[in-house]
Every structure is written in structure tokens, then in C-alpha cells.
Structure 1
Amino acid sequence: MSIALFLLTFLFPPRTISVPALALPSTVASLSPRPVSVALPVMPVKKAPLTLSYRVTATTYWPEVGQTDDNPMETADGSIIPARHSSKTRWLAVSRDMLDKWGGPFRFGDKVRVSGISDALDGVYIIHDTMNRRHHHCVDVLVNKRECQQGLEGRWTGIRLSKLAPEPTWEAS
């Protein structure tokens, strides 16, 4: 019950009416509603794009003090990087200008599709971390140091970053 309805009921309680006063005249009791046709204009609906796409620069990183802060296994959103992580973990760090906290389109936990790096690194990632403030319009892919030594280390420009539509949440009716 809304607060306004509660207050109205509290301030102006309903009056009780005796039964004989409720009797309706026979003319009113025999009336029935008639159908009325209503014509509503049909307006075309503009659909918003399901995904937004951005062109960014991509690099790879692994959690070590030289590339992160003094606690390399903890990301900016408080997640802990698994000890046996690899490029299959699919975590991503984005530059601050890409996060909604600083006016960007993404939030921690958003799923994004990265394409244009390589067959091994393209795919769907979850944003868990942020980059140093000196970087703009960049993403950093979490990999293992061993993978970088085997050829996954690099810097790529013109990488496509697409925001995936959020999955619908289940609600009981």
C-alpha cells in the first residue's frame, strides 16, 4: 500500500452506510456498458543498438609488482587473480577514461568482446581491473608470464572492443 493511500485512509476513515441506502434504483441496475472503439496511432519504435563498439589499443600484462601496484594479485574491483591463471582466464583491465566512474561506458564486471588481436586472445572478457592514469583508450589483457615469453606479448592498435548486452536477470512473479 502506498504511503499516500495509507495517510488518506488514516486521516479520512471510510464511513459505514446502512444496507437500505445502498439499494440502487431499477433503472441504474439494468444499465450495461456499451463497447467503444478507440483508435490509437501506431508509432515506429527506434531500437537502440545492442552493442556499442570502440577502437582501442590493446596490450598484455601479468601480475607482478613492476607492472601493477604493490599487491599484484588483487584487481581494482577487489577480485583476486587465480594463482594458476592464463590467457584463458579472460580478465581485462581498461584505462580510466573507459570506466563509468570517470565518464566512460564500462563498469567493473561488464562483459566485452575483444577482436583484432589474435586468434588466441580474441574473445569475451570480463572487466576486473583498471590501468594507470597515463593510459587513455586502452585495454590490458591478463596473461601468464610464460605465455608472453612464448609470443603473446605485444601492443596492438585498432582493436575492436564491443560491449555485450547484459544478460536478463530472473525475477519471481
Structure 2
Amino acid sequence: MSLALFLLTLLFPPRTLTDSALALPSTVASISPRPVQLVVPVTPMRRPTAPPQSLSYRVTATTYWPEVGQTDDAPMETADGSIIPARHSSKTRWLAVSRDLLKTWGGPFNYGDKVRVSGISSALDGIYVIHDTMNRRHRHCVDVLVNERECKTGLEGRWPNIKLSKFVFEPAWQAS
């Protein structure tokens, strides 16, 4: 044995360990289950982006005929690409609506939809097809297509508080 090892053994005598010293600490030996919070992915519910559409709308109605002063550079062509018949009249039943009423800009109607207009006059009330768009400055408005001659005989005007509703065909009877 070397002198260094002898001195170390003398200064620090070896100890014998008891069984209790060999046991694991009590904190580790008594493991108890703890509550674990589970994280479950939840898909959020989609909120409606717009309030539900009502069945009818209150709008202002006016009349127009296809001329450059009242339309764009191509007065006989509508916004949906339709061509106004050369011999049109108020009986053609075409309608131009303001942008806020078209589905493209968040409204309830599309081009080609049939709508019921009531409250103008007995000559102009009825079922119309949406074919055109009004200038962007108009809100909650419709323009009824008429002939220029009809306007000179009294169909020209502006009517507030007109009822506009989507037309849904309901058969009166069914064959059995």
C-alpha cells in the first residue's frame, strides 16, 4: 500500500452502509398519481358573417331607359351581359338593383333572380328579373326598365318605401 492511500484511509475511514441508507428517498418511493389535464382540440363554431336575410326589403324605386346619359357607354347591354330588346317597354319587366342588394357585394340577390316589386303603381307592380346594376352611389334602390315614350306619358318618377321580395313560385295545386 502506498503512503498516500494509507493516509487517506487513516483520515477518512471507510463506513459501512446500513439497509436504510441504501433505500430510495421517500419522495421518490411514494409516487402517487396526479391529475393530468387533457388537451382536446376543439374546432371553433363558425359565426354567421351576416345577419339572416329578411324576406322582404324596403327600397326606393325609380325608372330608367337605355340611353348614354342614364347608363354607361353601351346602354343596350346590361351588367349580366343581356341585351335589352329594341322594342322594350315596362312590360319587359327587367330591373337594375343597387350594389348592396347583389350577392357579389353582400346582398341577397343574384343576376337572374325573380323579385316581386309592390307599391309603385298598378302599371309597374309585379314580377321582375334582375339584369342590371345601378351606379355605386345608390343604396337600397331599384331601377325599373321602361321605354322613353312611357316616361313622357307619366311612368317616370321616384317612389320611396317600395317592397322588394324574392319571388318563389308556389304551385296552387298538384296533380295526384
Give the ranges of 4+ consecutive aligned residues of structure 1 lying more than 2 Å apart after TM superposition.
none
List aligned pairs for 1:50-65, cutoff 5 A: 52-65=55-68
Alignment partner, residue 129 of structure 2: 126
Q: Does 1:81 align with 2:84?
A: yes
| TM-score, normalisation: structure 2 | 0.65
The one-letter amino acid of 2:83's match is I
Aligned counterparts of 2:130 and 2:91: Cα–Cα separation in 1: 14
Matched residue, 2:41: none
- Once residues 57 and 145 of structure 1 are traced to their aligned partners in structure 2, the CA distance between those partners, rounded to angstroms, is 20
Counterpart amino acid of 1:57?
Answer: T
Is 1:98 matched with 2:113? no
Matching of residues 38-57 of structure 1 within 5 Å? 52-57=55-60
What is the number of residues matched between the two proteins? 118
What's the % identity of the aligned pairs? 83
2:168 aligned with 1:165? yes
Unaligned runs of 5+ residues in structure 2 are 1-53, 171-176
Equivalents in 1 of 2:119, 2:136: separation in Å? 24
Q: How does 1:139-158 map to 2 (within 5 A)?
A: 139-158=142-161
- What is the rounded CA distance, in whole Å, between the counterparts of 1:164 and 1:118 in structure 2? 18
What does the per-residue CA deviation read over 1:138-168, in whole Å, with 9 as the maximum and x for residues that have no partner? 000000000000000000000000101268x
Distance in 2 between residues matched to 1:129 and 1:123, nearest whole Å = 17
The aligned residue for residue 67 of structure 1 is 70
2:137 maps to amino acid: R
Per the alignment, residue 140 of structure 2 pairs with 137
Larger radius of gyration: 2
Cα distance in 2 between the residues matched to 1:161 and 1:103: 17
**Structure 1 length-normalised TM:** 0.66
Distance in 2, matches of 1:133 and 1:152, equals 24
Opposite residue 113 of structure 1, the aligned amino acid is R
- Paired with 2:169 and 2:142, the residues of 1 have a C-alpha distance of 20
Question: What is the Cα-based RMSD across aligned positions, in Å?
Answer: 1.5
SS of 1:129's equivalent? strand
SS in 1 for 2:110: coil
